[in-house]
Chain A
C-alpha cells in the first residue's frame, strides 16, 4: 500500500463547476500538507500549503486537512479552462523536503 493515495483521473468538469480533489494517507505523523499544480510538459508549482489540520483559502482555492480521517482535499471554485492540469498532493512529517511524499497526481480537465 502506498503511503499517499490519489485518484489519477482524469476528472472532467464544465467551466464554472466546483472541483474537489482528494488524497488519503496512511502515516499519522504527517503534519505538513501541500498541493502542487503541474501543467503539461512543465514542472510542478506550489498552490497551497497547510500545516496540521484545518482549512486554508486563497482566492478560488481552498485546502482542507482532516487528520482524524487521514484525508486532504483541494476545492476549486468557479473552475476555468486554465485550471486544466495535474494536481499533486504532497506531505511530510518533518519540516524540510527530504522526506516529502508525493501523490501520483489527479489530472483535471475543465471544458469551456
Chain B
C-alpha cells in the first residue's frame, strides 16, 4: 500500500522557472493538502482541497497554484519560482473532515530555488 506518493523528491530551479509538484493517494480520501516545512516555522498550509472539484487557500498561498485533477491526484504549481520558495513540500490526505486527527503525509519534495 503506497499511501501518499510525491514526485519529484528533489528539484533545483533557477529564479523565474516554473514547475509542478505531483501528489497521488491510493486511500480513497476525499481531502488533500499541500504544506511547506521551513526551519523554525513548522508546517504551514499552502492550499487544500476538501473534496474533488474544490480548492481553497491556506495560510501561505501566494506564488502557488493547485489543481485537484481527480480524487486521487492533487498538484502544486510554482509559476515563477523565487528563492523564498526554497523549502520541503509535503502533500497530505485525510478522510473528509479529518475529525480523527490523522493526516497521512507523503515523504516530501525538497525544492531549492537559486
Contacts and interface: CB of A to CB of B under 8 A. Distances in A.
Interface residues of B, number: 27
Query: Secondary structure at chain A's binding surface: helix, strand, loop or mixed?
Result: loop
B58 A98 contact: yes
B42 interface: yes
Interface residues of A, number: 25
Interface of A: 4, 6, 8, 32, 34, 36, 41-46, 49, 88, 90, 95-98, 100-105
A98 B35 CA distance: 11
B33 interface: yes
A4 B107 contact: no
Contacts, number: 61
Interface of B: 4, 31, 33, 40-45, 48, 50, 56, 58, 90, 92, 94, 97-103, 105-108
Q: Which of B42, B98, B102 lies at the interface centre, i.e. has the most chain A CB atoms within 10 A of its CB?
A: B42
Contacts of A88: 42-43
7 contacts: A6-B42, A36-B103, A43-B92, A97-B48, A97-B103, A98-B58, A100-B103
Contacts of A49: 100-102
